[in-house]
Amino acid sequence: MPIPSGMTISGADGRIVVRGRATGDALVLEAPLSLLCIRPEDGVIDDVHHPDRGQSVTGRVLCLPATRGGPASTGVLLECLRRGTAPAAMLLGEDEPAVVISCLVGLELYEKSMPVVVLKRESFAALATGTRIEIVES
Amino acid sequence: MVSLTADDRRRLRGAEGPALKLAMDVVCATAEIGGAARLIDIEGAHLSESFYAGQAHQDFVDRMISLGARVVVPTTVNPGSATLRGPQGATADPEAVSAARRLMRSVLRLGCRPSFTCAPYQLPGCVTQGGHVAWSESSAVVYANAVIGARTNLHYDYEDLCAALVGRVGDHGLHRDGERKASLIVDVGAVALEILRHELGCHLLGHLVGSAVGHAIPAIIGLPAETRLDWLRALGAAASSSGALRMFHAVGITPEAPNLNAATESQAGLPRLEVTGSDLRSAVNDLSRPGEGPLQGVYLGTPHFSLVEFDGLLHLLDGRRVRDGIACIVNTSRHNRDVLRARGLLGRLERAGVALMVDACTYYGLPLAGLRGRVMTNSAKWAYYAPRTHDVAIEFGTLQDCVESAVNGEPCRADSVWHDHLWR
């Protein structure tokens, strides 16, 4: 297995929706994830139907092609930020208001947030689980 | 870019304090993602902040209270995760019950009405046709858009309160005329009229439509003129459970669909879904989870039972009593309970062995924590969620089936709508 090389993500790769810097190992999900299926206690994906069930998002750069899940998903992400079980950053295939709302509120309540970038299609396609990713602000 | 008024910008700068600054930040970010060109005024809000989903919920509400925040539009709230009074389920953690009740009381300090219902449209003067509102709670959003002709997207937790604090939302999605048109036709013309003239037809159709149409807005053709408001409500609730429905048109029935032309931008090339009796039969199978053993209870009122539905229940009970040992629980709002009391109907329900549950929800949260065994419901939404939150086997039936089962103490399908020849 080749050793994954590092990767830098900046505004050139997409649209920064929440500013910030972070570094972490990529967790690239194959299937859309309902944010409601992240367990705030330990950041583990707790959905028996999801191919990445059992993986922890905590401290990783969570790369989501798409999200599902309703109004309560903001509560799950904010709870993850509060408990310190949130990802280090999120790279998204499409816009997700719940992620942005949680970060805005998390910053206000707990001074905790994470950078979020909506990637261009080709940048998202280049992601691979395990790659070390650095998100820079510019 | 969202274009803002001078008032919007002043709040965004923090000139009206940190609570309104955060609220405006959140409203603007959501509007931006939605592609809104501007913000618009809302005439009301319905929030999910009342349902305890972790300490973060309480922290957010507490912070807003400490900053002196108050809602600026009439605002209702969803059920809590426990009832405010009375015992909770056998496995409910007492600390969780206290936390749930504390949050329910806290949201009222923001100026919200103590509604604790998932069906705010049942409250007098809550929403009007054409009015813009910011609602959370998926089943209520579909009802507001489709049946009342009000306008709302499905709002997120926290963001719903932010909208209520500034009285503004992004002008995008279902707030806009062009975004409310059907992009898909669902034809139920092949389904037997006996099924369509029955609440059951709409429950099943909703379950089917939700899983079939994704984010599309369907125009349903073939529903009979006698389709009742509560049936349309069941349709929307089922479809926003099995799927992500936010709006539909029932042609000839709902306010924005006097005919198919009005419901669509252009009919040419719209995908068409033909629904048959046998499709609906498969929805019945999907919603049923057969089990063994004695019937434990009958659960009605998801979404919250309406006053019309209570009349139907009393009519079907016809003076009889629920069998001892069978729980017959109807979930409704405290408002409806008070109306029933004023009409002298509460005593009749109690004498019949029917218990009302208010302020909470029967499939989520703590009131029935630990519920297990064989249970019955007439609600497609309840049948969808209850097996995901409780260890239950589901007998799905009509209201008449539920009443006969409760009275006889065992599950039965007494309703003539089940005649085999109707379901081909």
Summarize pLDDT for B243-282 with one digit per residue, the tens. Answer: 999 999 999 999 999 999 999 988 888 999 999 999 999 9
Report yes or no on B323 lying in a domain: yes
Spell out a b/e string for B83-92, using b for 16 or more CB atoms within 10 Å of the CB, else e: beeeebeeeb
In terms of residue numbers, what domain contains B33?
Answer: 6-174
Percent of chain B with pLDDT over 70: 100
Q: Of B374, B383, B369, which Cα lies nearest the Cα of B81?
A: B369
- Residue A45, chain B, CB below 8 Å: the answer is no
Q: Of A121, A22, A17, which Cα lies nearest the Cα of A9?
A: A22
Same domain, B125 and B55: yes
Report yes or no on B350 lying in a domain: yes
Report yes or no on A38 lying in a domain: yes
- CATH number, residue A101: 3.50.30.10
pLDDT, tens digit, for every residue of B196-213? 999 999 999 999 999 999
Report yes or no on B339 lying in a domain: yes
ipTM over 0.90: yes
Same domain, B95 and B110: yes
- The stretch B294-323 carries a mean pLDDT of 98
Strand order in the sheet with B372-377: B355-357, B327-331, B295-300, B372-377, B391-396
Min Cα–Cα distance to chain B from A89, Å: 18
How high is the pLDDT of residue B106?
98
Confidence of residue A49 (pLDDT cuts 50, 70, 90): confident
Report the distance separating Cα B342 and Cα B344, nearest Å: 5
Same domain, B264 and B367: no
In terms of residue numbers, what domain contains A24?
Answer: 7-135
Tokens representing residue A100 in the block: 């942005």
**Mean confidence (pLDDT) of chain B:** 96
Report yes or no on B419 lying in a domain: no
How high is the pLDDT of residue B408?
97
Q: Of B164, B166, B154, which Cα lies nearest the Cα of B74?
A: B164
Distances (CA, A) of B414 to B247, B299, B316, B408, B410: 33, 17, 12, 11, 11
Report yes or no on B420 lying in a domain: no
Report the distance separating Cα B220 and Cα A59, nearest Å: 47
Report yes or no on A11 lying in a domain: yes
Residue B99 or residue B424, greater confidence? B99
How high is the pLDDT of residue B334?
98
Single out the residue in B152, B174, B196 at which a domain terminates.
B174
Percent of chain B with pLDDT over 90: 96
Same domain, B14 and B143: yes
Single out the residue in B235, B265, B285 at which a domain terminates.
B285
DSSP 3-state percent helix, strand, coil across chain A (nearest 5)? 25, 30, 45
The amino acid occupying position B7 is D
Q: Of A57, A105, A39, A110, which Cα lies nearest the Cα of B53?
A: A39
pLDDT, tens digit, for every residue of B54-74? 999 999 999 999 999 999 999
Q: Classify burial at B350, counting beta carbons within 10 Å of its beta carbon; exposed 0-12, middle 13-18, buried 19 or more.
A: exposed
- Residues B326/B294, Cβ–Cβ less than 8 Å: no
Report yes or no on B422 lying in a domain: no
Per-residue pLDDT for A16 more than 70? yes
How high is the pLDDT of residue A68?
76
No. of H helices and E strands in chain A? 3, 11
Same domain, B136 and B261: no
Report yes or no on B138 lying in a domain: yes
Longest dimension (CA), chain B: 68
A71–B55 CB contact, under 8 Å = no
Same domain, B343 and B379: yes
Same domain, B240 and B315: no
Confidence of residue A2 (pLDDT cuts 50, 70, 90): low
Report the distance separating Cα B65 and Cα B139, nearest Å: 28
Spell out a b/e string for B326-335, using b for 16 or more CB atoms within 10 Å of the CB, else e: bbbbbbbbbb
- The stretch A1-10 carries a mean pLDDT of 74
Min Cα–Cα distance to chain A from B275, Å: 26
Secondary structure letter of residue B142 according to DSSP: H
pLDDT, tens digit, for every residue of B207-245? 999 999 988 999 999 999 999 999 999 999 999 999 999
pLDDT, tens digit, for every residue of A64-82? 998 876 789 999 999 999 9
- Residue B53, chain A, CB below 8 Å: the answer is yes
Same domain, B79 and B223: no
How high is the pLDDT of residue B119?
98
DSSP string, B299-318: EE-SS---HHHHHHHHHHHT
The domain tally of chain B equals 3
Cα-to-chain-centroid distance, residue B378: 15
Report the distance separating Cα B272 and Cα B262, nearest Å: 17
The amino acid occupying position A71 is P
- CATH number, residue B391: 3.30.499.10
3-state secondary structure of B388: helix
Same domain, B362 and B348: yes
Contacts (Cβ under 8 Å, ≥6 apart) of A74: A98, A101, A102, A105, B156, B157, B158, B159
Same domain, B225 and B121: no
Report the distance separating Cα A86 and Cα A40, nearest Å: 8
How high is the pLDDT of residue A48?
80
B159–A108 CB contact, under 8 Å = no
The domain tally of chain A equals 1
pLDDT, tens digit, for every residue of B93-126? 999 999 999 999 999 999 999 999 999 999 998 8
Q: Of B130, B124, B210, B132, which Cα lies nearest the Cα of B171?
A: B132
Q: Of B306, B348, B369, which Cα lies nearest the Cα of B95?
A: B369
Same domain, B358 and B328: yes
Of residues B51, B54, B63, nearest to A40 (C-beta)? B54
Per-residue pLDDT for B36 more than 60? yes
Per-residue pLDDT for B348 more than 60? yes
Pair type for strands A33-34 and B39-41: unpaired
- The stretch B377-384 carries a mean pLDDT of 96
Report yes or no on A1 lying in a domain: no
Min Cα–Cα distance to chain A from B424, Å: 32
Confidence of residue B12 (pLDDT cuts 50, 70, 90): very high
CA closest to B30 among chain A residues: A97
- Residue A17, chain B, CB below 8 Å: the answer is yes
Single out the residue in B285, B302, B320 at which a domain terminates.
B285
Report yes or no on B140 lying in a domain: yes
Q: Which of B28, B157, B215, B384 to mutate to test the interface with A (most CBs of A within 10 A)?
A: B157
DSSP string, B337-350: HHHHHHTT-HHHHH
